[in-house]
Amino acid sequence: MAKQVEKPEWARIAEAFEASGQTQREFALARGVRLSTLQSWVYRHRRSAPSRGEPVRLLPVQVATTPAEAASELEVVAASGARVRFAVGTDVAYVARLVAALGR
């Protein structure tokens, strides 16, 4: 039966691996541990350790309109070729009823 390794010990080994610059395979061979065991320790260590990256910073954003959004009207072309223009913000249900009526 394999020796049970306590958390502080595997955490130190995982930290040593992270600082080593070696591949997991190289490190496992040098330390005399199974690769799968080292992989497990490194995985658990990474999941339990707080993020070492820089904290996320949120920046203010200003949304600019695109040319399509800047248009003051929309145009609908029916299958019959009829063109109808609507002001931006016109009730969608109204437009749908009108387009349906033009399609008849």
Q: What is the pLDDT of residue 1?
A: 45
In a domain, 89, yes or no: yes
In a domain, 60, yes or no: no
pTM exceeding the 0.95 threshold for the entire prediction: no
Domain of residue 76, residue span: 69-103
- Three-state SS string over the chain comes to CCCCCCHHHHHHHHHHHHHHCCCHHHHHHHHCCCHHHHHHHHHHHHHHCCCCCCCCCCCCCCCCCCHHHHCCEEEEECCCCCEEEEECCCCHHHHHHHHHHHHC
In a domain, 97, yes or no: yes
Domain co-membership, 13 together with 43: yes
pLDDT string in tens for the chain (104-residue length): 455 667 778 888 898 998 998 999 999 999 998 999 999 989 988 888 766 666 667 667 776 666 655 668 888 777 677 788 888 888 888 887 887 777 66
In a domain, 55, yes or no: no
In a domain, 29, yes or no: yes
Domain count, the chain: 2
Q: What is the pLDDT of residue 72?
A: 80
